[in-house]
Every structure is written in structure tokens, then in C-alpha cells.
Chain A
Amino acid sequence: MGEVFTGRYELVDLLGAGGMGAVWRVWDHRDATYRAAKVLRQSDSVSLLRFVRESSWRVEHPHVLMPQGRAGEDERVLFTMPVVRGGSLETVIADHGTVDPAWAAIVVDQVLQALAAVHANGIVHRDVKPANILLEPTGSHRPHAWLSDFGIAVSAEDARLTRAHEVVGTRRYQPPEAAAGAEPAPAQDLYAVGLVLRETVGDRPESAALVERLCGPAQDRPSAVEARAGLAAIAWDRSDVEELVEVFEQLPELPDGWAADGPRAGARHAPLRPAAPPQVASPRTPPAPAPPARAGARRAGRRIRPELALAAVLALGGVALLVGAVLAL
């Protein structure tokens, strides 16, 4: 049996290790579902404080991904998130180069919707970039993006965890005024959206004016809502688009001993390393007590149901960059 946190979250496999701790796929025994979990050490007090704060915000939005819960044990704390299985916009850019602008416009619009909701709650994300825009594995269908990693976001009322002169976030996506020590403001997120848009569609004449406004002086930048209107008004020339964007399933296969609906019988002794192949015919071990609603869902079949399948790789490239800035003396 894998290590179990607070009797509820069982570590399944390591999805990645970033600057703010390791990210595991965990099995939530209470809700009978997989989640992504960042495991932090209590001694990482600054990161910890940020995550506690992050998980105290509640912005319910179809394109906003925030931590759902946390559990602490001994020296470590675990924060859970839904798992998103399609990688990030960074993955898509690496796979495709510049992408079909019509596809990109949908993703950027969803990010703007997310930012509109976040800003309306008085929160500035401060780290909008392709690696923090996660995607559902929608193949070549309509994309579904999630704005994630609110680890360095701030709210207006918050006591600042970061002094103004410290550089947080990913420098490349920061507007000049943030690097110069300006107070966090929603306009800074819009600057980053401008860069994301340009990086995703390339230097296209149709979007040049919008990118210029987004990346221009802070006082001239559109709000997230205004930028959505600007984006919607663009007529994209798709005549040079050769191939459709495809968002693949990026999550590694479950290790031996695990199935879409949880731990398998017969292999529970060593779920973290390769075990004997699961015996298909053997009955599955009933999981720890699950609420009735989920028990019904589990019986529905072996395929992952969409709502259970919000599994997630946290794009870690960016996370690794943060720690230095955050913990710098």
C-alpha cells in the first residue's frame, strides 16, 4: 500500500518535482477519485503560507483551477487539485510551433474569462504564462483551458508576503512596471496575456494591434473584459493553417496496481513501484468507505467518467523558476 496522508490521500505516482515541492497523483479514498497533490514540507514556510492563502480563495469558475483541500501530517502538508490531463499551453506550443489562431483565440478568451473572474475578486494572478494554462485532453475538438497556479497571486487586502522590490513570477512575462517595483495590479496580468497571445499565434497582422495594446503602457491596457471584446472582433486568416491543434492525453499511465476506479486487488502491497501485472479476473478490493453518490459512480464502469477524470499535471516548468525569486534573501 502506498503512503496514505491523514487516512485519506494515498500517493500513487510522482508526476513531477518543481520548485514548490513534488506533485503526486493521489487516490482520494474518501471521494474515490484521483487528484493531483503538491506535497510541501512544513519547513518551507514561505511556500506553505502562499499555498494556505491560495487554498483559502474560492473563485468558482469553469476556467479557474485552485487548490481544493489540504491535509497535514508530521513534517509535510499536501494540497490537492483536480487533475488536468492534457498538459499545458506550453506543451501545445512545443508540439505544434505556432498554432491555428482560431484555436488559440478560444484558449486566450477562456484565460481572459478566468482573469475577469479573478480580478473581480480582487486577486492579481501575477504568473500568467503558457505553462500555467492547463488543458483538458480534448484532441482536435474545442479546447478547454484552466488558469492555474495561483501560488504567487495577491489580493488587494493581503499583507504583502513579498516586498515590492523582490521580483516574483516569471520575468519574461512581467511588464516593465512590475520589474520596477510597481504594486500588483490587474493590468499586469493583461500584459502577460498579450505575450501569451503573441507566442501562441505568432506575429500575425490580425492580432498585432491587440497585442500592442496589451503590452503597452499599463494605463492604456484593456481590462480582461475589454480584451475579450477586442479578441472576438478579430477576423483570423486561417489560409496558412496546415494542421489542426491536437491536445493529447499527457498523463502517464497509472502504475501497476491502479485502475481508473482506484486500487486493484492483489497489488496493493507495492503500488509505488512496478508490481506484478494486475489479474484482470480478480475482484477489485472495495475502497475505503465512500459516500453513496460516489459509490454509484464507481459502479458505472471502468472508463473514467469525465467528472472524475479531471486529473492533472501541474505544469512544472514555471514552478521551478519561482522558488529562487520567492526565497531570495
Chain B
Amino acid sequence: MDLQQNREAQRRLYGAPLGELLGGHAARLGLTQARLAALLGVSPPMLSQLMNARRIKIGNPAAAHRLQVLHELAPEVESGAMTLDELVAAVESTHGEDVLTTRTSARTSTRERVGLLQEVFREAASASEHLDAAALLQDEHPRIAELLRVYGAERTADAVAHLESRVSSG
């Protein structure tokens, strides 16, 4: 395997060898390689293969698309026009709708997020306890009571609908 040739091939595809490109973004944004891999949606060993030019191409079109968004927005973070959290959110919400894959659909990732939220709530208490707590809070803090009911006790489908309404309205 000619790594130098691979780097040149990466330069033609992505404008720079991926080690340079991704390493530069990681360093400037203060991201570890593991975090960068998670952000792009590839596994850490795959990221390292790409950065070492042992592999030329990012196989998953959605990951390539996320890299593109990262590349476009990174200067905004450096100039202070955008926070790192905002960039991470923008990259993560890139689902590659305009490329061939719709594998990571928005629906799936909302469900996953709901799953995590429900897990946090249900680690803390049972559904009936959440309902009791919601009843106690209802008059003083109705919106907090709603969260307890939705993520502590309601069905996943309802919680997904709730989160989607929050995300789209907020």
C-alpha cells in the first residue's frame, strides 16, 4: 500500500489528506479523535484508518456529508461567530438527506434521544412515582410536571411526539 499515493487521492477527493484535514479541525476545535469519530458517525478505528491514509475514501455518504458541514462551519467557531456546541449540534443534525443514504433518519435519532431521556428518568424512579411527583408539581410548575409525565411515564411514541414538537417549535 502506497500511503503517499493514498494521501494524494484524498487530496483530490477532499481538498487535503484526511490526516491533515481532520487532525487540523480536531486540534483547532479541541476535539479528541474519539469525539471526532462520534461526531462524524464512524468508528474510532475507521477514523484512524482514514487519517493514516490506509483507507482513501469515507465509505458512508452521511459521514462524508457531516465532514463537509464540519469543514464549512469550523472557521465560524474559530472566529467566535459560533460556539463549539452549536457546531456539534449542526453537524449532528446533518442526516445526509441530500445524499444517497437516509439510513440515520431524523426519526431514529429522535427515538434514540427519547430512549436515553426515558432511561435517565426511569433510573431515578418508577412511572407511578413520576406521575405522583407530576401531580404534586402541577399547580406550581406545570411544565416541569409535563416533563415528568412524558419521560417518566408515557409511552415512547408519545415521548417522541413530545420531543419532536419541542425541537421543531423551539
Using CB atoms and an 8 Å cutoff, list the residues of chain A in contact with chain B. Answer: 17-19, 43, 87, 91, 93-97, 99, 167, 171-172, 199, 242-243, 246, 248-250, 317, 320-325, 327-329
A97 lies within 8 A of B59 (CB): yes
Find B127's partner among A43, A171, A172, A329 (CB 8 Å cutoff): A329
> Complex: how many Å from CA A167 to CA B158?
12
Question: Which residues of B have CB within 8 Å of A171?
Answer: 111
Contact across chains for A325 and B60 when beta carbons are under 8 A apart: no
Residues of A within 8 Å of B153, CB to CB, are 329
Q: How distant is the Cα of A60 from the Cα of B114 in the complex, in angstroms?
A: 35
Beyond A243-B56, A243-B57, A323-B119, 8 additional pairs, beta carbon < 8 A: A18-B119, A94-B42, A199-B103, A246-B49, A248-B43, A248-B45, A328-B154, A328-B156
B155 within 8 A of partner (CB): yes
- Let me know if B115 and A95 touch, CB within 8 A: no
Indicate whether A329 sits within 8 Å of B155 (C-beta atoms), given known contacts A95-B42, A243-B55, A321-B115. yes
Report yes or no: B155 in contact with A248, Cβ–Cβ below 8 A. Answer: no
- Near A by CB (< 8 A), chain B positions 100-130 give 101, 103, 108, 111-112, 114-116, 118-119, 122, 126-127
User: Which residues in A have their C-beta under 8 angstroms from that of B81?
Assistant: none
- Which residue of A94, A321, A328 contacts B155 across the interface (Cβ within 8 Å)? A328
**B59: contacting residue among A43, A96, A322, A324, CB under 8 A:** A96
B46 adjacent to chain A (CB < 8 Å): yes
- Secondary structure at the B interface, as helix, strand, loop or mixed, is helix
A320, B115: Cβ atoms closer than 8 Å: yes
Whether, in the assembled complex, B41 has its beta carbon less than 8 Å from a beta carbon of chain A, the answer is: yes
Separation of A14 and B46 alpha carbons in the complex (Å): 22
A19 to B127, CA, bound (A): 15
The 7 closest A-B pairs by CB, nearest first: A324-B156, A248-B45, A320-B115, A328-B155, A96-B59, A95-B46, A97-B59
Interface string of B155-168 (1 = CB under 8 A from A): 11101000000000
Q: Which residues from chain B sit less than 8 Å from chain A, CB to CB?
A: 41-46, 49, 55-57, 59-63, 101, 103, 108, 111-112, 114-116, 118-119, 122, 126-127, 153-157, 159
> Which residues of the other chain, B, contact A320 by a CB distance below 8 angstroms?
112, 115-116, 119
Question: CB distance B111 to A321 under 8 Å?
Answer: yes
Return chain A residues, CB-CB under 8 Å to B44. Answer: 250
Contact residues in A for B126 (Cβ distance below 8 Å) = 43
Name the residue on B nearest A325 (C-beta): B156
Within the complex, what minimum Cβ distance (angstroms) separates A251 from chain B?
10
Instruction: Give Cα A242 to B49, complex, Å.
Output: 16
C-alpha gap A18/B123 in the complex (Å): 11
**Complex contacts, A172 vs chain B, CB 8 Å:** 108
B45 touches A327 (CB 8 A): no
Contact of A250 among B43, B119, B156 (CB under 8 A): B43
Q: How far is the CA of A321 from the CA of B159 in the complex (A)?
A: 12
Q: Do the beta carbons of B103 and A325 come within 8 Å of each other?
A: no
| Distance in angstroms between the alpha carbons of A97 and B42 in the assembled complex | 10
B55–A94 touching, CB < 8 Å = no
Q: Considering the chains assembled together, what is the distance between the CA atoms of A89 and B96 in angstroms? A: 20
| Shortest CB distance B16–A (Å) | 20
CA separation between A52 and B66, bound complex, in Å? 41
What residues of chain A lie closer than 8 Å to B155, measured between beta carbons? 324-325, 328-329
Can you list 11 A-B contacts with CB-CB less than 8 angstroms, sorted by A residue number?
A19-B115, A91-B43, A94-B42, A95-B59, A243-B56, A243-B59, A248-B43, A317-B112, A323-B118, A323-B122, A324-B115
B122 cross-chain contacts in A, Cβ below 8 A: 323, 327
Query: Do A97 and B61 have beta carbons less than 8 Å apart?
Result: yes
Once A95-B59, A95-B60, A329-B154 are accepted as A-B contacts, the answer to whether A323 and B45 lie under 8 Å apart by CB is no
Is A93 within 8 A of B60, CB to CB? yes
A49 vs B54: C-alpha distance in the bound complex, in angstroms? Answer: 46
Q: How far is the CA of A283 from the CA of B140 in the complex (A)?
A: 63
B119 touches which of A19, A99, A325 (Cβ 8 Å):
A19
B contact residues around A91 at 8 Å (CB): 43
CA distance A249 to B61 in the complex (A): 23
How far is it, in angstroms, between the C-alpha of A87 and the C-alpha of B59 when the chains are bound? 17
Question: Which A residues touch B154, using CB under 8 A?
Answer: 328-329
> Taking each of B42, B46, B116, which has the highest tally of chain A beta carbons within 10 Å of its own beta carbon?
B46
- A257 to chain B minimum Cβ distance, whole angstroms, is 21
In the assembled complex, the Cα of A243 lies from the Cα of B58 at a distance in Å of: 10
Q: A319 → chain B, closest Cβ, in Å? A: 8
B-side contacts of A243, CB under 8 Å:
55-57, 59
A328 to B115, CA, bound (A): 12
Chain A residue numbers with a CB within 8 Å of B127 are 327, 329
